[in-house]
Amino acid sequence: MRCVFALAGLLGAAALAPSQEKPKTADDVRPRFGLAFRPKAYAQATPKQALESAITAADKGEFNYLVAHLLDPAFVDARVGVRARQFEPAIEADLARLREFQQQNLDKVSREDRVPVDPTAFRERVAGEARVAAFRQIVRDVQEKLTDDPEVLKDLRRFNRQGTFPDPGAAGETAKVGLPDVKDRAVYLKKIGERWYVENRQTDEKTPEPKKE
C-alpha cells in the first residue's frame, strides 16, 4: 500500500516553514501561489472532505491547487523555500543580464517591465521569481508521481471509501484514517484554522524535523 501524500521520499526532507495562516472564513483566505481559495469546489471542513477534495483535484488534473491549498501548507512552503534557493543563482544571473540590456535600451522598455536597479528591489524580484519556479517544479513532481504510479490514487480512494474517519464533531487538530487490513499505513490529516489538510506522512511517527540549510 502506497500513498503519494507521504511526500518526503518524493520531494526530500522539508526545512522549517513559516507560520501558517489561520483564517476564520473563506473570505479571509488569501490566494496561495496566485491561486484563489475555492471552498465550493474543494471543501475542507472535515477530514473526509479534505481527502475527497485532494483526490478530486488530482482526478481533474488540478495539481497546482492540490499543492497550494490541500496539502499541509507548512510542508509545501518549506519545500518551496528549499527549491527556491536552488533556483536563485540562475535566476539572479538571468535577471542581471536582462537588467543590463534594458539599461542600454531604456527607450524600448516600459518602466513597469524593467528589472529593478535598486539592490533591495532586485533581490526581491529574484526571490519572487525563484518561488514561482520552485512551486511549479513541485507541482510537476507531484503530477509526474501520480501519472507514473496510478496505484497511488487507487489506494487513496480505498482509504476514502473504506477508511475509518473521526466523527466531525469529535475530531481534534489531527486525524488518522486507517483500514482494518492495513496495519502499516494510514492517511493523516491536520487542522489549521477551520480547514483540514493532508499531511506528509503515512505512519504514527512524524517526519523528523530536518536541519536548517
pLDDT in tens, 13-69: 333 334 344 444 555 688 999 999 999 999 999 999 999 999 999 999 999 999 999
Three-state secondary-structure class, residue 9: helix
How many other C-beta atoms can be found within 10 angstroms of the C-beta atom of residue 90? 11
Helix (H, G, I), strand (E, B) or coil at 116: coil
Q: Residue 150 has which C-alpha cell? A: 496510478
φ, ψ for residue 14, nearest 5 deg: -85, 150
CB atoms within 10 A of CB 21: 13
34: left (phi over 0), alpha (psi -120 to 50) or beta: left
Give the pLDDT of residue 182.
Answer: 84
Per-residue model confidence (pLDDT) at position 169: 66
Whether 161 contacts 140, CB under 8 Å: no
pLDDT score for 106: 93
Which pLDDT band, with edges at 50, 70 and 90, does 203 fall under?
Answer: low
- The answer to which of 94-98, 138-142, 153-157 has the lowest mean pLDDT is 153-157
How many other CB atoms are found less than 10 A from the CB of residue 195?
23
Domain ranges of the chain: 8-198
C-alpha dihedral sign at 23, 133, 139, 5: negative
